[in-house]
Amino acid sequence: MKIELDFSSEHFDKADLKVVACYQKDETFQGSWSDKNLMSHFKGLRSSKSFSGSAGEFMTFTGPEGETVLAVGLGAKKEAKAEQLRKTIAKTYQAISSKKFKTVAIDALSFNCVNDKAKAAELITESLQMSSYTFDKYLANKKTPTFKKICLFIDDKKAKKAVEKAVEKAQNVTSSVNFTRDLVNEAPNVLHSEGYAKAIEADVKKNLKGVKVKVMGKAELKKEKMNLFLSVNAGSAFGPRLVHLTYTPKKATKNTKHIAMVGKGLTFDTGGYSLKPGGSMMGMKFDMAGSATVYGAFRAAVLNNSPYKITCILGMTDNAVSSTATMPDSIVKARNGLNVEILNTDAEGRLVLADCLDYACDQKPDYLIDAATLTGACLVALGSQVCAVLGNDDKWINELRNHAKKQDEYMWQLPIIPEWRDDMKSQIADLKNIGTAGRAGTATAAAFLENFVKNDVKWAHLDIAGVGDSQAHLPYCPSKGASGLIVRTLHDALTNGK
């Protein structure tokens, strides 16, 4: 959706639909409506229409000049914070997107429940862009709204600079969130490893000037001794791809902080010989969501001129069955030299990540983050709403949790204990790739990964198996399909909230 900023009432006055907001009934009236005439008209109507102004409640009426007006409830003043605003705007978008308006204008400052004009404009933009997302390329009948853009009227010319900057930042973040969603929603026959790498390369070339791209295939991975990664690819019709992106800020010095990210890019997970039953296999195109998430965050951070050096490593393959696929009981030597007994070929994500983490540590980052749809156990532990975080440095984990909190995304730490490290030891090899069935699956997976983090790098692992898709409780996410969550949190970490 195109967002147009308006600092004089020109577009607002002419709009087919004017959108304004207010708190709930018994609280101070939101006195920041730009149109005082409209405001007094609404005051008169409000009680007769029994409109209470609770969060997401709507009232449509005809304004004093015959225009259509939508009043939106922001709810109780003390609860009306950033997330409430995102949700209210999302519901507003849902309410109007199927209506036949040609032009829509929002009185943005009437929605300023965060007491910061630029922040309010940023949040409105963010929510509109996330809410108007659709994955409709395979639909003949697309439900495109009749209006082509939404005008945000900011009745304060002095705020122009700050608002423009904040809105541009939100546009960069949400175009990246939506890019992540597109990748995750794409079908596995279209977005296989080779096509995926090409899609990333094309996006970098088009949108991320100055970012270095290196794409590695089977021959390069063999040279790098990434045998765990290759073992997952052994049954595939497509070559493995490791995409290595590097961003260096313009003002980099030798003290510039370096953050590396690694993403699980399983374009489809059949389970391999440890085959998933049909019902559990459905939806496994989303098993590359970790890589799409770290790429989305990388993209947004680069567009918003992050002050940090950022390395992004995406491990791409599918996990397929064929006569050449890896058999359970195989023992494979990792890039770091540890031998791994592969008892279950469905625990494949950790194999790809293991070699990628070891490779990432060689880039000498100060901080390391990986994101992956790694375990079904994560859904058992934390549901589909909460992202799990584990790692080797509580300070770094807490920092990430704070970024999540700031972005209103749920993230909770799970422990790694010595007993679970022991659970990943094999009798005949250094490690095995599964722990005790049905016991702490998310944490034993992280305990496995920990063996591949070296050089004292501070590492955090994000299991996004739950939050990666179908967030029916969030009105700014599609109820079915890729969520794009965690991109905002990681972008915040990569730009330090700037």
Which sequence positions are flagged as catalytic? 276, 350
Contact 242, 194 (CB under 8 A): no
Query: CA distances (Å), 94 to each of 58, 88, 90, 133, in order?
Result: 12, 10, 6, 11
In the complex, the residues that contact ligand BES under the rule CB under 6 A are 269, 287, 344, 346-349, 373-377, 434, 441, 465
- Identify the residue among 6, 194, 269, 341 touching Zn ion (CB under 5 A): 269
Please state the closest distance from residue 435 (CB atom) to ligand BES, in A.
7
Please state the closest distance from residue 278 (CB atom) to Mn ion, in A.
15
Does 318 sit near Mn ion (CB under 5 A)? Answer: no
Among ligand BES, Zn ion, Mn ion, none, what does residue 434 contact (CB within 5–8 Å per kind)? ligand BES
Return the number of the residue (68 or 344) whose C-beta is nearest Zn ion. 344
Return the number of the residue (118 or 226) whose C-beta is nearest ligand BES. 226
Secondary structure of 9-61 as H, E, C letters: CHHHHHCCEEEEEECCCCCCCCCCCCCHHHHHHHHHHHHHCCCCCCCCCEEEE
Among ligand BES, Mn ion, Zn ion, none, what does residue 19 contact (CB within 5–8 Å per kind)? none
Return the number of the residue (70 or 184) whose C-beta is nearest Zn ion. 184
Q: Which residue of the chain is nearest Zn ion when measured via CB? A: 269
Please state the closest distance from residue 344 (CB atom) to Mn ion, in A.
8
Cα–Cα distance measured from residue 496 to residue 498, given in angstroms and rounded to the nearest whole number:
5
395: left (phi over 0), alpha (psi -120 to 50) or beta: alpha
Does 269 sit near Mn ion (CB under 5 A)? Answer: yes
Please state the closest distance from residue 336 (CB atom) to ligand BES, in A.
21
Cα–Cα distance measured from residue 84 to residue 377, given in angstroms and rounded to the nearest whole number:
30
User: Count of CB atoms within 10 A of residue 399's CB?
Assistant: 16
Please state the closest distance from residue 183 (CB atom) to ligand BES, in A.
16
Binding track over 337-376 against Mn ion, x by CB under 5 A: ---------x-x----------------------------
User: Count of CB atoms within 10 A of residue 286's CB?
Assistant: 25
Contact 69, 60 (CB under 8 A): yes
Which residue in the block uniquely carries the two structure tokens 């977005």?
Answer: 191
* φ and ψ at residue 461, rounded to 5 degrees: -110, 130
Helix %, strand %, coil % of the chain (to 5): 40, 20, 40
Which of 264-272, 392-400, 419-427, 489-497 is the region at the interface with Mn ion (rule: CB under 5 A)? 264-272
- Identify the residue among 349, 435, 475, 481 touching Zn ion (CB under 5 A): 349
Contact 381, 414 (CB under 8 A): yes
- The residues facing 342 across adjacent strands are 330
Please state the closest distance from residue 343 (CB atom) to ligand BES, in A.
9
Residues from 86 through 115 that contact Mn ion (CB under 5 A) = none
Return the number of the residue (67 or 346) whose C-beta is nearest ligand BES. 346
Please state the closest distance from residue 112 (CB atom) to ligand BES, in A.
39
Residues in Cβ contact with 368 at an 8 Å cutoff, skipping those fewer than 6 apart:
259, 260, 261, 262, 357, 360, 361, 453, 457, 458, 459, 460
Which of 135-143, 269-277, 294-302, 404-412 is the region at the interface with Mn ion (rule: CB under 5 A)? 269-277
309: left (phi over 0), alpha (psi -120 to 50) or beta: beta
Return the number of the residue (121 or 379) whose C-beta is nearest ligand BES. 379
Return the number of the residue (75 or 272) whose C-beta is nearest Mn ion. 272
Contact 352, 229 (CB under 8 A): yes
Which H helix or E strand runs over 233?
A: helix 227-233
Please state the closest distance from residue 247 (CB atom) to Zn ion, in A.
28
Among ligand BES, Mn ion, Zn ion, none, what does residue 67 contact (CB within 5–8 Å per kind)? none
Return the number of the residue (262 or 342) whose C-beta is nearest Mn ion. 342
Return the number of the residue (348 or 358) whose C-beta is nearest Mn ion. 348
Return the number of the residue (92 or 375) whose C-beta is nearest Mn ion. 375
Please state the closest distance from residue 176 (CB atom) to ligand BES, in A.
23
Q: Under rule CB under 5 A, how many of the chain's residues touch Zn ion? A: 4
- Identify the residue among 107, 287, 318, 463 touching Zn ion (CB under 5 A): 287
Cα–Cα distance measured from residue 113 to residue 80, given in angstroms and rounded to the nearest whole number:
6
Q: Which residue of the chain is nearest ligand BES when measured via CB? A: 376
Among Mn ion, ligand BES, Zn ion, none, what does residue 376 contact (CB within 5–8 Å per kind)? ligand BES
Residues in Cβ contact with 271 at an 8 Å cutoff, skipping those fewer than 6 apart:
280, 281, 319, 345, 346, 348
DSSP 55-103: TT-EEEEE-TTS-EEEEEE---TTT-SHHHHHHHHHHHHHHHTTS--S-
Which of 128-136, 236-244, 267-275, 377-385 is the region at the interface with Zn ion (rule: CB under 5 A)? 267-275
Residues from 170 through 209 that contact Mn ion (CB under 5 A) = none
| Closest C-alpha among 369, 448, 356, 365 to residue 404 | 369
Sites of contact with Zn ion (CB under 5 A) = 266, 269, 287, 349
Chain residues in the site for Mn ion (CB under 5 A): 269, 346, 348
